Amino acid sequence: MMGGGGGQYIGHINYAEIKTRPKIRAATLRRMLSHLIPHWHYFVLILLCICTVAALGLVPPLLIRTLIDDAIPRGDAWLLNVLAVGMIVVPAIAGLVGVAQNYLNTLVGQRVMYDLRNQMYRQLQRMSLGFFTNTKSGEITSRLVNDVAGVQNVLTGTLVAVMTNSVTVASTLILIFSLNWQLSVLSIAILPLFIAPTRRVGRIRQRIAGETQSRQADLTSFIHETLNVSGFLLMKAFVREKLEARRFSARTQDLMSLQVRQALVGRWFFMALTLFGAVGPALIFWYGGHLVLSGQLTVGTIVAFVAFLARLYGPISALANVHVDVMTSVALFDRIFQYLDMPPGIAEKSDAKRVEQIAGHIRFTGVSFSYDGGDRKALEDISFEVLPGQLAAFVGPSGSGKTTATYLVPRFYDPVEGTVEVDGHDLRDLTLEDLRNHIGMVTQETYLFHTTIRENLLYGKPDATEEEMVRACQAAYIHDFIADLPDGYDTVVGERGYRLSGGEKQRLAIARVLLKNPGVLILDEATASLDSRSERLIQAALAPLLRGRTSLVIAHRLSTILAADVILVLDRGRLVEQGTHAELLAHGGLYARLYEEQFKRDTDGAAPDGEFGATSARHTTSERSAGAPDAC
């Protein structure tokens, strides 16, 4: 076939080999904290809430001590009533402050998630086309949705818990030492037993957390591939439901096993912490009881002291596990930072030039390109020139580099050697936005969003008027079809436009480009999916679109080839011939052989008067008579 292609991508950057970093690094921690700095004022309020709750939490045990040591022994009913009311009011106030703290926690977490998602989405927009052809879409979705969602737990869980537990432990230690230093020393004597195994448990949990995130991304990719419209049709056509169900089950089982392991890691350790927490009160009652018997301590103080132990051992248990939680959080943030740090495949210079208009003078000079950056080249030493307003047709066997050559013009890729210029400017010297604003494309696979026809059309020109939109659709011979639909231009086209036929989708795509009105047009098999009648209508509609524009067409139709100002014949990435149809036939090379094999049978019916080929031929002939050469 003449045309097709598109090539495979292996990738200049081996994104698939990105691994989870195994250690906590100071740089990662600093970067994690940098995302919190813009919200520092919220953290001040959170800290005030934490301190308030911690202070209020110290009051109930003191009330109990006063009740046991003073109110009851003295028979003071008024004091007893006050203490009882205080035991209700103080926790109620602490609960209200806790609600405010939780609100602030959630607000900060959501704002950081919002910032990270936007940063990651903009970063993905900067990546080259090669990144997306080499990375599973489910993997990208998982990083953007699941990994960023985990930030909420890091902020509202790990960070705030560290702050809360630290304040609680510090305030409790100060108070219990003021009550009795002997009991305080006894209480903290067993604390080293809480910390010993934490580091090993943390490393295991971090590794499993990284594996779990990876398996979740794999599962998301699998779901996306098999349950989108194209994957679903393929699965049904080849009756592979049972096979895909087994593959899905295997993936979910692997994920389930990892999640079970992640939940159980360190549980024996945490059970031991619970046991140690029971030993503390027993020691306090034993030793404190002896102090009471000797008259050195009151019963109320012992009861209050035991109550304070719950505020001491619980937070210390959590703090002993901080290293575990931080390592897990670092694994999560590392996955996010890995995407944010990926260098864009196509970089824009800081001093890139702005261009208001593009005449469309395109020149390739010694261009070579390799998808994998290795020796196997998709294009090798290509040089040609297309003058403003000319129609250049790319022909050649499948895989010869036609699509690759057209992808270099809007800078979806950059050549590894040579230069691509438009109007005398190296494309790498121009802003990407200005360059691509002046280029229109109708690709081999027409893509429509799952929304209305109107919104799909306005994607080409968001500020287009109703009149402009209708005029573009009339020119693409799709308006009458749209008008006959029950909802007209507000009809939803379905996933990838599957509610429309191939020809209807391509005419919509052409109308979208007509609406954009670009200076350079790239058509990749623009009429390949159309029936004969639709093809004739589209070819007629394309004639005014092509007039006065530089057009690069991957040619599959004889009428396109006959109309071309220059035909560029590619074979295995090399430009082997260029010229007009008559010149190339006379030359007797590859083009002549392809013509004999594929197009000669169509000669009698090709390019009738008034259709795309003849019309374009007339306007390009006049341009050639004005000085435009037939070939470079």
Is 601 inside a domain boundary? Answer: no
- Structure confidence at residue 195 as a pLDDT band (50, 70, 90): low
pLDDT in tens, 266-291: 666 666 666 666 777 888 888 888 88
Rounded mean pLDDT, 349-374: 88
Is 577 inside a domain boundary? Answer: no
408, 365 Cβ separation under 8 angstroms: no
pLDDT of residue 113: 87
d(CA 611, CA 588): 28
Instruction: Decide if pLDDT at 544 tops 70.
Output: no
pLDDT of residue 541: 62
- Structure confidence at residue 421 as a pLDDT band (50, 70, 90): very high
427, 411 Cβ separation under 8 angstroms: yes
pLDDT of residue 270: 66
- Structure confidence at residue 377 as a pLDDT band (50, 70, 90): confident
Is 529 inside a domain boundary? Answer: no
How far lies 417's CA from each of 121, 126, 381, 543, 620, in Å? 30, 22, 8, 35, 32
pLDDT of residue 626: 32
How far lies 556's CA from each of 68, 163, 625, in Å? 96, 67, 27
Residue for token pair 């109930």: 60
For residue 205, the domain's CATH number is 1.20.1560.10
The sheet with strand 362-369 has its strands ordered as 379-386, 362-369, 417-422, 425-426
Is 103 inside a domain boundary? Answer: yes
Is 432 inside a domain boundary? Answer: no
Q: Mention every residue, 6+ apart, whose C-beta is less than 8 A from residue 150.
A: 332
d(CA 23, CA 2): 53
Instruction: Decide if pLDDT at 469 tops 70.
Output: yes
d(CA 475, CA 615): 15
Counted domains in the chain: 1
Phi and psi angles of residue 580, each rounded to the nearest 5 degrees, phi first: -85, 170
Rounded mean pLDDT, 204-219: 76
Rounded mean pLDDT, 328-353: 82
What integer best gives the mean pLDDT of the chain? 79
* Range of lowest pLDDT (161-165, 166-170, 232-236): 232-236
Instruction: Decide if pLDDT at 461 tops 60.
Output: yes
Instruction: Decide if pLDDT at 411 tops 60.
Output: yes
Q: Name the token pair of 158.
A: 């790990």
Q: How is 229-264 classified by DSSP, letter by letter?
A: HHHHHHHHHTT-HHHHHHHHHHHHHHHHHHHHHHHH
Instruction: Decide if pLDDT at 448 tops 50.
Output: yes
- Structure confidence at residue 324 as a pLDDT band (50, 70, 90): low
- Structure confidence at residue 576 as a pLDDT band (50, 70, 90): very high
Instruction: Decide if pLDDT at 48 tops 90.
Output: yes
pLDDT of residue 135: 80
Is 361 inside a domain boundary? Answer: no
- Structure confidence at residue 11 as a pLDDT band (50, 70, 90): very low
Q: Name the token pair of 392.
A: 């250049």
Are β-strands 550-554 and 520-524 bridged in parallel, bridged antiparallel, or unpaired? parallel
Q: How is 470-503 classified by DSSP, letter by letter?
A: HHHHHHTT-HHHHHHSTTGGG-B--GGGTTS-HH
Rounded mean pLDDT, 135-162: 78
d(CA 585, CA 567): 11
- Structure confidence at residue 199 as a pLDDT band (50, 70, 90): low
Is 385 inside a domain boundary? Answer: no
Is 289 inside a domain boundary? Answer: yes
- Structure confidence at residue 10 as a pLDDT band (50, 70, 90): very low
Q: Domain range for residue 311?
A: 21-340
